[in-house]
Structure formats: structure tokens, C-alpha cells
Structure 1
Amino acid sequence: MRIHALPDDVLDRARELAGTDAHHEWHAESPGAPLRCCLRKAGPGEPVILFRYAPGAGVGPYEELGPVFAHAEPCDGPASTAEFPHAFRNAPRTLRAYTADGRIHDGGVAQPDALAQRLDALLDDPLVAEVQVRSASHGCFLFAVTRD
């Protein structure tokens, strides 16, 4: 499987707009915020931005818009794109599987000890092009997963 943080062009635009409108906020810090740029939690004193984002997999009525955090300045990105990010393994996650044409195909909630197996099972379906991993409690998009 391959893990996808937010695309650089999305992050660049959000950073450029941070603090300029109601949809792009700048925060001096927000310790513990799940960062979608590097797929870890924000530490104390790290400036972050909060903005709304619609992942590309869902289209039409399946498009979802929600809040996401990222570093206020560019970072090195995720430590790995080959394994489930450690910072996001500690809670149940909503998994939504999408077809290549942007329709929801399958989904569910996976407990921390079953996340990798559930993702593998969804990606084994040839109709699934991408799986979105979301917070089960808030519904926020965390990252996307595709086949290698």
C-alpha cells in the first residue's frame, strides 16, 4: 500500500491564504493537531494552519469537505509512504473506498489493531482505486491510501 499526505500544491495554496479569509486560519500553535502534511501530531510551539479541504477521490454527491491541519511552513513530509502513520494508529478509523470514477464502493470503521488488514482487504478489490482514512470521531480526512 502507498500512503498519500496532502499534495504540495494544496499545501502551498493553503499556506499562501492562511489568515486571509474565514477558510484559511493561522495558529501560533495547536499541540496534538493531526498534521496532514507530514502525518504526525503537532508539537508545542509549532505554527500550523487550519483550512478546509475536499479530497479528490469523491466526486459529485460523494465529495466531502472538511477541516485539516498542516504546518504553517513547508516540512519534510511523511517519514514513510509505505506504512500506516504511527501517530494515527491509536484510535478507530473510518475507511471509505472509492472507485476510479469517484463513487463510494465500500467502507466501514476499523479498530487500531485491524487497520492494516482492513486496508489490505479493501485494496484487494479491483474496483477500489483509493481508500480515504478518516477520524471516526470527527469524520475529518487524515490521508489517502492506494496500491503500490
Structure 2
Amino acid sequence: MRIHALPDDVLDRARKLAGTDEHHELHPESPGAPLRCCLRKAGPGEPVILFRHTPTAGTGPYEELGPVFAHAEPCAGPATTAEFPEAFRHAPRTLRAYTAEGRIHGGEIATPDTLTDRVDALFDDPDVAEVQVRSVSHGCFLFAITRDRA
């Protein structure tokens, strides 16, 4: 599997707009915020932005818009793109599978100890092109997973 944080172009645009309108909030700190730029939790004193984001997998009636956090300044990104981020393993997660055409193609809720196995099971279906990982409690998009092409 390959883990995808938010793309640089999305982050660059959001950072440029941080604090300029009601859709791009700048926060001097927000400890514990789930950061979509590096896939870890924000620490004390780290400035973050909260902005609206539409993941690319859902199209047409499946397109969704929701809030996401990221560092206010560029960071090094995720430590790895090959493993489920530890910062997001502490709770059950909604796994939503999408086809290459952007249509929902199954999904489920996985517990922390079954996350990787359940993602692998969704990818056993050749029609699944991407799996979105979301918060169960709020439905927020956390990150996307695709098959490892290596």
C-alpha cells in the first residue's frame, strides 16, 4: 500500500490563503490536531491551518468537502508512505473504497488492530483504485491509500 498525505499544491494554496477568509483559518497552535501534511498530530506551539478540502477520489455526487488541518509552514511530510501512520492508529477508522471513476465501491469500519488487513481486503477487489481513511466520529478525511506499484 502507498499512503498519500495532501498534495503539495493543495497545501501551498491553503497556506497562502491562511487567515484571509473564513475557509482558511490560521491557529497559533492546536495541539493534537491531526495534520494531513505529515500524517502526525500537532504538538504544542506548532502553528496550523484549518481549511476546506475535497479529496480527489469522489466525483459527481460522491464529491465531499470537509475540514482538514495542516502545518502553517511547509514541513518534511510523512516519515513513510509505506505504512499506516501510527498517529492515526489509536481509534477505529472508516475505510471508504473508490473506483478509478470516483464512485464509492464499498467500505467499512476497521478497528486499530485490523486496519492494515481490512485495507488489503478492500484492494483484493480489482475495481478498487483508492481507499480513503476517515474519522469515524466526525467523518473527516485523514488520508488516501493506493496500491503500491513497486
Same fold, judged at TM 0.5 (above)? yes
User: Within 1, Cα distance between the matches of 2:41 and 2:20?
Assistant: 25
CA RMSD of superposed structures (Å): 0.3
Per-residue deviation, residues 10-38 of structure 1 (Å, max 9, x unmatched)? 00000000000110000000000000000
Tell me the residue number matched to 1:50.
Answer: 50
AA aligned to 2:67 is P
Per-residue deviation, residues 23-59 of structure 1 (Å, max 9, x unmatched)? 0000000000000000000000000000000000000
User: Within 2, Cα distance between the matches of 1:123 and 1:37?
Assistant: 24
Secondary structure of 2:20's match? coil
Tell me the residue number matched to 1:83.
Answer: 83
Tell me the residue number matched to 2:120.
Answer: 120
Q: What runs of 5+ residues in structure 2 fail to find an aligned partner?
A: none
User: Within 2, Cα distance between the matches of 1:55 and 1:114?
Assistant: 24
User: Within 2, Cα distance between the matches of 1:123 and 1:66?
Assistant: 25
Tell me the residue number matched to 2:8.
Answer: 8
Is 2:57 the counterpart of 1:60? Answer: no
Tell me the residue number matched to 1:108.
Answer: 108
AA aligned to 2:143 is F
Per-residue deviation, residues 96-139 of structure 1 (Å, max 9, x unmatched)? 00000000000010010100000000112100000000000110
- Compute the TM-score of the two structures, normalised by the length of structure 1: 0.99
Is 2:36 the counterpart of 1:36? Answer: yes
AA aligned to 1:114 is T
Q: What runs of 5+ residues in structure 1 fail to find an aligned partner?
A: none
AA aligned to 1:86 is E
Is 2:122 the counterpart of 1:131? Answer: no
User: Within 1, Cα distance between the matches of 2:122 and 2:2?
Assistant: 13
AA aligned to 2:57 is A
Per-residue deviation, residues 67-98 of structure 1 (Å, max 9, x unmatched)? 00000000000000000000000000000000
Secondary structure of 1:119's match? helix
User: Within 2, Cα distance between the matches of 1:95 and 1:63?
Assistant: 16
- Compute the TM-score of the two structures, normalised by the length of structure 2: 0.98
Alignment: residue pair count? 148
User: Within 1, Cα distance between the matches of 2:73 and 2:121?
Assistant: 36
